[in-house]
A and B are shown apart, each in its own frame.
Chain A
Amino acid sequence: MSAGTDTRTGMRPATPTSALSGRGRWRVWLGHNDAFVILVGFALLASVISPAFLTPHNLGNLLTQSALLGLLAIAQFLVVVSGGFDLSVAAVMAFSSLVFAHFIGLGFVPAALLAILAGGTCGLFSGLVITKGRVQPLIATLAMMGIARGLALSVSEKSILVNDPTVAALRGFSLGILSTPTLVWFFVLTIAVAWLALTRQALHLYAIGGNEVTARLAGVAVNRIKLGVYVASGLLSGLTGVVMVMRSSSGVPLGGMGWELDTIASIVIGGVNLFGGEGRLMRAMAGVLIYQMIANVMNLSGLDPFYQDIVRAGVIVAAVGLSIFRNRKAGRRVIQGRSA
């Protein structure tokens, strides 16, 4: 991360990376890919400790377990890159799982569409409140969290069991080690990666998160993009609700309690800048897997689930603290670079 320091000697400094020594270049590379390295290290360590870890079956399980968090983390990723937060993702997921369970009588596809639409509506509401109402994303989505959770509980206080042949079939289905939730996750991930790489809107998303004023002055339709990102987050959360039903065969009003923080923590582990403008989706997904593996290890070690909450809280604060520390270091460099 110390790329800028030794570049100002000549008149036209060469590009920072190529000017660096081999060791420096390695450090830059590591800085950009630490999440992958940690992930591989984790996997190696786990397979040494337990030979069962690297079996296809176990890897499939890990992916399935990560799928819901992973889908929500994609939603959170988009919002955080735009410079906001969405604390409602998990509650919206729970709400739409109930909408799906409630309307399953209409058939699988209509019910799923309704559930996704319900999520999208929640996102639209948050987005309008943030862009038109000028309410901080944090509060607007916190309110949405309450609204969605309340709506979910008023549909049903208890989980609704879903008895539908399509759901049952999808639940049993798998492609090699890839279960249905994993497949949906990968499918959405592919679309999101392509969208992020190819489209103008994605570029604008990063620009808004990086420097909203500059983006606005350059003619970027800031409010439209922001609104779009909250709608997308809502739709994705809605889809995740449907996937949750495929996994557990029921709509769960209290499903995903506390996951809003888990999504933030895992993408931050995956190198996303908490204050917007920076982050790569694949790396964020590595963060999700790391986070899920920590949870797995805690489970396997038989730690009391209530202790796990405390450990989780510690991991979240540590991850965010580290990201802020890193960010501050980078920020300081920029300021130094500017001063006379």
Chain B
Amino acid sequence: MTSNMATADSGIDWRKLLAENAIIPALLVFIVLAGIATGGRFLSPSNLTIILFQSSVLGVLVLGQTLVMLVAGIDLSIAAVAILAAVIMGAGGSERQIMMNFSGILPYLGFLPAILIAIAGAALAGLINGLVVVKLRIPAFIATLAMSLALSGLAMLATGGSPVHYPDPFYESFGQTKFLGLPMPIYMFLALSLGLGLYLSRSKLSVQLYATGGNPRAAALSGIPVSRITILAYTASGLLGGIAGFLFLARTGSVAPHSGGNLLLETIAAVVIGGVSLAGGKGNVLNAFAGTLLLVGLSNLMNILLISPHLQDAVSGIIIVVAIMANTRLQDAPAGQ
């Protein structure tokens, strides 16, 4: 998707292509190695299904984060958005849950209204992020981290701090329903990724998005509505965060206000592993998707090898750093600038 405007007349620049898509061979090599390390267990269909299932929440968050990073921003509130959305859907959509909570302020909303309010609220949070970043020119990481703080507070308020154990049974059954052997959340995740990937490959917005991230000044001087595009990216990120909240509830059948702990870091790790540039304007959905699979696959591998889940957080921190350094080197070397 990076430079596919027209077929190249003179030979393809393989080094550049490799530098920009290094994640794909890396993922393949990893799959082979993981298969060997686990004596094939990693590659069993049931385990691969688990990986995809576990990727569903993270993968949707990664889509939102990718959009924001393409316009040279960062959304540190995206995990909090997802959790708050899940809390609203889970608690506000279930009479039983509301009756169990004495100290929460969230009333019973009804199943469908809860979903709609949660999704709309998520998009609103994203919109506010975008407005604060663009109009008040507050650095994205401060604005979104503060948003994250506020949303976590809201999630706590909603339930009085207690976990949501009894969401509407729909969520759990949706998570368990299988079609052609795969649970529904996987289809949602794949459909969203594919949809966004295709949309970005053939929409006006995508050209504007890449231009805005690549060089905001030149983009503005070429008549691209840079502010609007940026705000839109943050709003879409919030919206995708809300959808991820839905998937979270479907996957786990419950949610606690502090469930989002590692999710944020993993999101950034996956995006960065996928070669999306923090400087903006570089990267694509396919690579970010591959980054998600690599990260979740790695964590799955560590589970199989019985490594502590907390150590896995530390590992994803290290992976972020290594991935960025590798990307910097790869992209510096061939281009020479």
Please report A residues at the B interface, Cβ cutoff 8 Å. Answer: 85, 129, 133-136, 138-140, 142-154, 157, 258, 261, 264, 274, 304-310, 312-314, 316-317, 320-321, 324, 328
Q: Which of A139, A146, A307 contacts B153 (CB 8 A)?
A: A307
What is the CA–CA distance of A136 and B150 in the complex, to the nearest angstrom?
A: 26
B-chain residues with CB within 8 Å of residue A139 when the two chains form the complex: 268, 272, 278, 320-321, 324
The 3 A-B residue pairs with the shortest CB-CB distance in the complex, in nearest-first order: A309-B153, A150-B313, A150-B314
Q: Is B43 an interface residue (CB 8 A)?
A: no
User: Assuming the A-B contacts A154-B308, A274-B139, A313-B150, are A143 and B318 also in contact, with contact meaning beta carbons closer than 8 angstroms in the complex?
Assistant: yes
B161 to chain A, nearest CB (A): 7
Contacts A147-B317, A154-B310, A312-B149 aside, 4 further interface pairs with beta carbons under 8 A come to: A135-B321, A142-B320, A150-B310, A317-B136
Q: Is B312 an interface residue (CB 8 A)?
A: yes
Which residues of B (300-337) have their CB < 8 Å from a CB of A?
308, 310-318, 320-321, 324-325, 328
What is the CA–CA distance of A268 and B313 in the complex, to the nearest angstrom?
A: 30
B-chain residues with CB within 8 Å of residue A274 when the two chains form the complex: 139, 142
What is the CA–CA distance of A328 and B136 in the complex, to the nearest angstrom?
A: 11
User: Assuming the A-B contacts A135-B325, A136-B278, are A316 and B157 also in contact, with contact meaning beta carbons closer than 8 angstroms in the complex?
Assistant: no
B274 to chain A, nearest CB (A): 14
User: What are 27 A-B interface contacts by the 8 Å CB criterion?
Assistant: A133-B324, A133-B325, A135-B325, A142-B320, A143-B321, A145-B317, A146-B314, A146-B317, A147-B313, A150-B311, A150-B315, A150-B317, A151-B311, A153-B313, A154-B311, A261-B145, A307-B157, A309-B150, A309-B152, A310-B149, A313-B149, A314-B150, A316-B142, A316-B149, A317-B143, A324-B136, A324-B137
Do A310 and B150 touch (CB < 8 A)?
yes
B-chain residues with CB within 8 Å of residue A305 when the two chains form the complex: 156
Tally the A-B contacts, defined by beta carbons under 8 Å.
Answer: 125
Which residues of B (128-145) have their CB < 8 Å from a CB of A?
132, 136-139, 141-143, 145
| Contact residues of B: prevailing secondary structure | helix
- B313 to A, closest residue via Cβ: A150
Q: Which of A147, A149, A157, A320 contacts B138 (CB 8 A)?
A: A320
B-chain residues with CB within 8 Å of residue A145 when the two chains form the complex: 265, 317
What is the CA–CA distance of A154 and B313 in the complex, to the nearest angstrom?
A: 9
Q: Is B232 an interface residue (CB 8 A)?
A: no
- B318 to A, closest residue via Cβ: A147
What is the CA–CA distance of A321 and B161 in the complex, to the nearest angstrom?
A: 30
What is the CA–CA distance of A142 and B264 in the complex, to the nearest angstrom?
A: 10
B-chain residues with CB within 8 Å of residue A316 when the two chains form the complex: 142, 145-146, 149
What is the CA–CA distance of A133 and B320 in the complex, to the nearest angstrom?
A: 12
A229 to chain B, nearest CB (A): 18
Do B265 and A146 touch (CB < 8 A)?
yes
What is the CA–CA distance of A136 and B143 in the complex, to the nearest angstrom?
A: 18
B-chain residues with CB within 8 Å of residue A133 when the two chains form the complex: 321, 324-325, 328
What is the CA–CA distance of A312 and B148 in the complex, to the nearest angstrom?
A: 11
Q: Is B68 an interface residue (CB 8 A)?
A: no
B141 to chain A, nearest CB (A): 6
Do A146 and B262 touch (CB < 8 A)?
yes
What is the CA–CA distance of A245 and B150 in the complex, to the nearest angstrom?
A: 28
Which residues of B (142-186) have their CB < 8 Å from a CB of A?
142-143, 145-147, 149-150, 152-154, 156-157, 161
Do A142 and B265 touch (CB < 8 A)?
yes
A247 to chain B, nearest CB (A): 23
A139, A306, A317, most chain B CB atoms within 10 A:
A306
B134 to chain A, nearest CB (A): 13
Do A308 and B139 touch (CB < 8 A)?
no
Q: Which of A150, A261, A306 contacts B312 (CB 8 A)?
A: A150
B-chain residues with CB within 8 Å of residue A314 when the two chains form the complex: 146, 150
A-chain residues with CB within 8 Å of residue B312 when the two chains form the complex: 150
What is the CA–CA distance of A146 and B137 in the complex, to the nearest angstrom?
A: 27
What is the CA–CA distance of A142 and B269 in the complex, to the nearest angstrom?
A: 10
B-chain residues with CB within 8 Å of residue A312 when the two chains form the complex: 149, 153
B311 to chain A, nearest CB (A): 5
B327 to chain A, nearest CB (A): 10
Do A320 and B139 touch (CB < 8 A)?
yes
A329 to chain B, nearest CB (A): 13
A273 to chain B, nearest CB (A): 13
B307 to chain A, nearest CB (A): 9
Q: Which of B154, B272, B325 contacts A134 (CB 8 A)?
A: B325
B171 to chain A, nearest CB (A): 24
A-chain residues with CB within 8 Å of residue B278 when the two chains form the complex: 136, 139
B291 to chain A, nearest CB (A): 14
A191 to chain B, nearest CB (A): 29
User: Assuming the A-B contacts A261-B146, A313-B149, A320-B139, are A129 and B268 also in contact, with contact meaning beta carbons closer than 8 angstroms in the complex?
Assistant: no
What is the CA–CA distance of A146 and B262 in the complex, to the nearest angstrom?
A: 8
- B262 to A, closest residue via Cβ: A146
Q: Which of B142, B156, B314 contacts A320 (CB 8 A)?
A: B142
Do A310 and B153 touch (CB < 8 A)?
yes
Do A313 and B314 touch (CB < 8 A)?
no
What is the CA–CA distance of A316 and B139 in the complex, to the nearest angstrom?
A: 12
What is the CA–CA distance of A317 and B136 in the complex, to the nearest angstrom?
A: 10
A-chain residues with CB within 8 Å of residue B265 when the two chains form the complex: 142-143, 145-146
What is the CA–CA distance of A113 and B154 in the complex, to the nearest angstrom?
A: 40
User: Assuming the A-B contacts A139-B320, A139-B324, are A306 and B313 also in contact, with contact meaning beta carbons closer than 8 angstroms in the complex?
Assistant: no
A-chain residues with CB within 8 Å of residue B269 when the two chains form the complex: 143, 146
Do A317 and B132 touch (CB < 8 A)?
yes
B-chain residues with CB within 8 Å of residue A157 when the two chains form the complex: 310
Do A310 and B325 touch (CB < 8 A)?
no
A-chain residues with CB within 8 Å of residue B137 when the two chains form the complex: 324, 328
Q: Which of B308, B320, B328 contacts A143 (CB 8 A)?
A: B320
A-chain residues with CB within 8 Å of residue B139 when the two chains form the complex: 274, 320, 324
B-chain residues with CB within 8 Å of residue A264 when the two chains form the complex: 142
Q: Which of A307, A317, A328 contacts B146 (CB 8 A)?
A: A317
Q: Which of B136, B308, B313, B325 contacts A146 (CB 8 A)?
A: B313
Do A135 and B146 touch (CB < 8 A)?
no
B-chain residues with CB within 8 Å of residue A153 when the two chains form the complex: 310, 313
